[in-house]
Amino acid sequence: MTEKKNLLLKPSRPVGIIGYGAYVPRYRLPATEILRVWKGSKGGVPIKEKSVPGLDEDVATMSIEAARNAIKRAGIHAHQLRAVWVGSESHPYAVKPTSTIVAEAIGAVPHVQAGDWEFACKAGTEAFVAAMGFVGSEMADYAMAIGMDTAQGKPGSALEYTAAAGGAAFIVGPSEESLAIVEASYSYVTDTPDFWRRADQKYPEHGSRFTGEPAYFEHSSKAASTLMEAMGTTPKDYQWAIFHQPNAKFPMRVAKMLGFSKEQIEPGLLSPMIGNTYSGAAIIGLTATLDIARPGDRILMTSFGSGAGSDAISLTVTDKLLERRDLALKTQDYIARRKEIDYATYARMRGKITVK
């Protein structure tokens, strides 16, 4: 136990989430529409529908919306932020930071640290853990971590059914101001080549047999179980649990492997309704859970990023959540605000039809 306890990431100054906000585009593409176009038949699909960004939306614009929601709940001014970090695998520019665009738009410049983060689907929690250290070391009082994606899927591929758009923003600050206090975190990482996209490739590729057992399930389960063992907790000590959601089946399976019930993960299981939002998948599940949690509730969030790694984070909700969560739109508000589109409209919006 002592040896495992030394693996925990705990800042010297207690920290927590003082503000959070989500964003999901309004457009939805039914999975049956993808099946109709590419298979010409009816059959089983991995999700109900997925969110699709509009023609004027990208990771920067969506991050700004989520960031503004987080600031509303935090009750601080953006110029008090000393860091704005954006994690994504679909930054709009190959060379030019997304973070400076977001920082400028929300009013955090110029006295702020900014940077873009990458680690496939766990770029958002990677930035979050760094924000824990930034605030926990007293280098800053407030730091913003965002996970947001407009994920890509090759037309007709299995990935196209679930690759969606959306994410969340969190402001990390001192524990005494927090809506949810971070108890500890733990990261589990190996070089497992389950998913990648080289610089000259438009769409990512899957490592087939590496995707499930050696990648997602190995890293998610080890991160969560090691964190709980080191903290001396069990699934029964948590009211809620959130896992990365590449589809509807994977998070259900890993939850069962670890001993969590369907009821514990249901509030944060959003993939059937909006698809896999990649860097925002686990953390947007956390926003949906915070939207219904009560003071004293304990939450376990475990992200997963291909390549591969997982961050597990344990939080406890405080009384301040009830005072602030209605100050901005809730995650389900964005999910309910939907407009269905057909495949042709989706192909146009996502640049899958090129005219030369």
Q: Band of the pLDDT at 209, cuts 50, 70, 90?
A: low
Rounded Cα distance, 108 and 115, in Å: 13
Q: Band of the pLDDT at 353, cuts 50, 70, 90?
A: confident
Which class does domain 2-8+181-323 fall in? alpha beta
Rounded Cα distance, 25 and 305, in Å: 22
Burial of 233 (0-12, 13-18, 19+ CB in 10 A): middle
Residue 139 DSSP one-character state: S
**Mean per-residue pLDDT over the chain, rounded:** 94
Predicted local confidence at residue 247, as pLDDT: 87
**What positions carry a catalytic annotation?**
89, 121, 244
Average pLDDT over residues 194-219: 81
Predicted local confidence at residue 121, as pLDDT: 92
Predicted local confidence at residue 300, as pLDDT: 98
Per-residue pLDDT for 206 more than 80?
Answer: no
Instruction: Please report where in the chains the tokens 């899927």 appear, as a residue.
Output: 153
Instruction: Please report where in the chains the tokens 């039914």 appear, as a residue.
Output: 30
Give the residue from 179, 291, 308, 185 showing the smallest Cα distance to 246: 308
Average pLDDT over residues 326-340: 97
Per-residue pLDDT for 189 more than 80?
Answer: yes
Structure tokens at 81: 């932020």
Domain boundaries, the chain: 2-8+181-323, 15-179+325-349
Distance separating the N- and C-terminal Cα atoms of the chain: 62
Per-residue pLDDT tens digits for 120-129: 999 999 999 9
Q: Band of the pLDDT at 77, cuts 50, 70, 90?
A: very high
What's the chain's Rg over C-alpha atoms? 19
Q: Band of the pLDDT at 105, cuts 50, 70, 90?
A: very high
Classify domain 15-179+325-349 at the CATH topology level: Peroxisomal Thiolase; Chain A, domain 1 (3.40.47)
Predicted local confidence at residue 142, as pLDDT: 98
Per-residue pLDDT tens digits for 137-166: 999 999 999 999 998 888 988 889 999 999
Per-residue pLDDT for 4 more than 90?
Answer: no
Average pLDDT over residues 315-341: 97
